[in-house]
Amino acid sequence: MTTAETRAGALPDLADVPARELRVAVLGVGMMGADHVARLYSRISGAQVVAVSDAFTEKAEQVAATVPGCRVIGDPLAAIADDDVDAVLIATPGQFHEEQVLACIERGKPVLCEKPLTMEAASSLALVRAEDEYTARTGRRLVQVGFMRRFDPEYAELKALIDAGGLGEPLVAHCAHRNAAVPPHFTSEMMVNDSVVHEVDVARFLLDEEIAAVTVLRPRATRRAVEGQSDPLLVLFETTGGRMVDVECFVSTGVGYEVRTEVVGEDGSAMIGLDAGLVRTSGGQAGATRSTGIAPDFRQRFGRAYDIELQRWVDAARRGEVDGPGAWDGYAAQAVCAAGVEALRSGRRTEVRLEARGGTQS
């Protein structure tokens, strides 16, 4: 098959993929990408990492050396186009995602893109439209976005409980997203785009509706806050169905990585994220106490979720399907975060500007 044929929308020859391992190229092998290479090699069945690409050649060579038969391809677009690559995992910095995801769509190759899908809502929408055109021609979807919490067993259990009516009609949700510390360059805008974005997807996933408006409040800042920044933030989402979700985002707690979600319904409530480790109840002169272990970082807290996410992505890609959050979910998250940043700067409630699938704004 020629490049011109593939770019015109013809399917690559993947008929034999279900009978063999999915050959994956990993773009970007920093912390997250290197973790994914190790995960695909040691814990995921049905896949083989055949190529890695990174701006830092020495790092790419180090990672490639850990996987038998893995090559380094310096140009990420060349890695996507390589005939020995069936599917692509993108873990490069966000500013490169648009070009790389589009190249995967043009080549007809399944892609798992770590969030964000792109850096702006408009460019994310452009990828939605490009994939829609590809799907209209082929009947296949290609793009999955790395919102791994959907695959976490606790979130999956909470979603199943809500869908089964176990809480009655959901009314409000409370979320907490806390980090022990962040780098000195981490701004309040990054708190919205890099941290709260996960709560955006969680709210949409659990409640199964879009977010219509965002309000951001700035409580008194901790002494550990990055200089000049507001930390913590309180973020309020209003959904299209009239539900509300509040998010406490606190990224300099000095404690650990804590993520909690509680959904309150007409007939009860349920909370996840309390038992990240050992729960200990003890007594003493100060009275009874209960403590729980706190994960030090997101990779430990959501390690199992990443394993499940990648296994399901590989299984679906071998079938020619997508089994997880897609391009639309990536776009919707960016649209909400754009409203969140605007609300952060203005101090006012801000409506989300979200295009409908047909092209009109909602």
- Per-residue pLDDT at 321 exceeds 80: yes
Asked whether residue 80 is assigned to any structural domain, the reply reads: yes
Q: Based on the domain organization, do 82 and 181 belong to the same domain?
A: no
For 189-229, write each residue's pLDDT tens digit.
999 999 999 999 999 999 999 999 999 999 999 999 988 89
**Mean pLDDT throughout 228-251?**
96
Phi, psi of 95 (to 5 degrees): -70, -15
For 262-307, write each residue's pLDDT tens digit.
999 999 999 988 754 333 333 455 555 545 556 666 667 788 999 9
**Residue that finishes a domain, picked among 129, 148, 167:** 148
Q: Write down the mean pLDDT value for the chain.
A: 89
Asked whether residue 358 is assigned to any structural domain, the reply reads: no
- Per-residue pLDDT at 1 exceeds 60: no
CATH number of domain containing 230: 3.30.360.10
Asked whether residue 259 is assigned to any structural domain, the reply reads: yes
**Residue 273 has what pLDDT?**
87
Q: Based on the domain organization, do 235 and 113 belong to the same domain?
A: no
**Mean pLDDT throughout 26-51?**
96
Q: 3-class DSSP state for residue 250? A: strand
CATH number of domain containing 64: 3.40.50.720
Predicted model pTM: 0.89
- Per-residue pLDDT at 17 exceeds 90: no
Q: Based on the domain organization, do 155 and 144 belong to the same domain?
A: no
**Residue 274 has what pLDDT?**
76
Asked whether residue 73 is assigned to any structural domain, the reply reads: yes
**Mean pLDDT throughout 252-267?**
90
Q: Based on the domain organization, do 136 and 198 belong to the same domain?
A: no
* Spacing of C-alpha 212 from chain mean position: 20
For 94-127, write each residue's pLDDT tens digit.
999 999 999 999 999 999 999 999 999 999 999 9
* DSSP-derived pairing of the beta strands 233-239 and 211-217: antiparallel
**Residue that finishes a domain, picked among 98, 116, 148:** 148
* Spacing of C-alpha 175 from chain mean position: 17
**Residue 9 has what pLDDT?**
44
Q: Based on the domain organization, do 116 and 241 belong to the same domain?
A: no
Pair of tokens at residue 249: 């985002």
Asked whether residue 17 is assigned to any structural domain, the reply reads: no
Cβ neighbours of residue 351 closer than 8 Å, sequence gap 6 or more:
212, 213, 339
- Higher-confidence position of 179 and 302: 179
Q: Based on the domain organization, do 172 and 292 belong to the same domain?
A: yes
Asked whether residue 321 is assigned to any structural domain, the reply reads: no
- Which structural domain, as residue segments, surrounds residue 159? 149-297+326-351
Q: How many domains, in total, are found in the chain?
A: 2
Q: Based on the domain organization, do 142 and 165 belong to the same domain?
A: no
Asked whether residue 211 is assigned to any structural domain, the reply reads: yes
The percentage of residues in the chain with a pLDDT greater than 70, rounded to a whole number, is 86
Phi, psi of 57 (to 5 degrees): -60, -40
Q: Based on the domain organization, do 176 and 160 belong to the same domain?
A: yes
Q: Based on the domain organization, do 126 and 96 belong to the same domain?
A: yes
Q: 3-class DSSP state for residue 206? A: helix
pLDDT classification of 357: cutoffs 50, 70, 90: confident
What is d(CA 252, CA 249) in angstroms, rounded to the nearest whole number? 9
Q: Based on the domain organization, do 189 and 130 belong to the same domain?
A: no
- Per-residue pLDDT at 76 exceeds 70: yes
Asked whether residue 14 is assigned to any structural domain, the reply reads: no
Q: Based on the domain organization, do 56 and 117 belong to the same domain?
A: yes
* Cα 277-36-135 angle, rounded to 5 deg: 115
